[in-house]
Amino acid sequence: MISFEALRLICPQARPDKLNALVEPLNDAMKEHEIDDIQRETAFIAQVAHESGQFHYLREIWGPTMAQEKYEGRRDLGNVMPGDGRKFLGRGLIQITGRANYAACGVALGLDLLAHPELLEAPENACRSAAWWWREHGCNELADSGDFKALTKRINGGLNGLADRVALYEKAQEVIG
């Protein structure tokens, strides 16, 4: 279990009201998806803290940037309908992205995310979607192995923001461990 105070120490830039809204759903989601020991918890918290801008954003900021423009028509994300790129932009603590990921997540969480993708912006769904994606994509096992770079690649597709992710991970280990 992670406390409000622990989250505040790990992410001092986070707004207290946002942390307060997330702490209970975060603990529930981690329990539901077997993020249940120090190694998994610290890796999960670090990664979702980075992906959400220290728990500030439950929805990707849309520019659109060049990278975001490339969401449109990306079959690997299941974006096959005009407008899918923007409609299924990153949401939740781990930034679920693309029609196919929304469809799978919706089935897993019992939500109609194809019709209502904004449901992933609610604290409970933001936490549950992140923990579901984490478990579904083998991140518990990667956390267990201690290979933080491989874990980052699994989540992000590369090593974007690695220094920040590592700093958050080290802080989480210090605070939680």
- What is the average per-residue pLDDT within 125-145? 98
Three-state DSSP state, 59: strand
At residue 177, the pLDDT reads: 81
Where does the pLDDT of residue 101 fall: very low under 50, low under 70, confident under 90, or very high at 90 and above? very high
- What does residue 58 show for φ and ψ, rounded to 5 degrees? -105, 5
| pTM, 2 dp | 0.95
Q: Which residues of 55-91 are buried (b: 16+ CB within 10 A; e: fewer)?
A: bebbbbeeeeeeebeebbebeebbbeeeebbebbbbb
- Is there a catalytic annotation at residue 51? yes
Q: What is the DSSP letter of 14?
A: S
Residue 83 domain boundaries: 4-176
Give per-residue pLDDT as tens, 46-100.
Answer: 999 999 999 999 999 999 999 999 999 999 999 999 999 999 999 999 999 999 9
Catalytic residue among 51, 72, 121, 136: 51
Give per-residue pLDDT as tens, 5-61.
Answer: 999 999 999 999 999 999 999 999 999 999 999 999 999 999 999 999 999 999 999
Q: What is the CATH number of the domain that holds 166?
A: 1.10.530.10
The total of structural domains in the chain comes to: 1
At residue 70, the pLDDT reads: 94
The mean of the pLDDT values for the chain is: 97
At residue 81, the pLDDT reads: 96
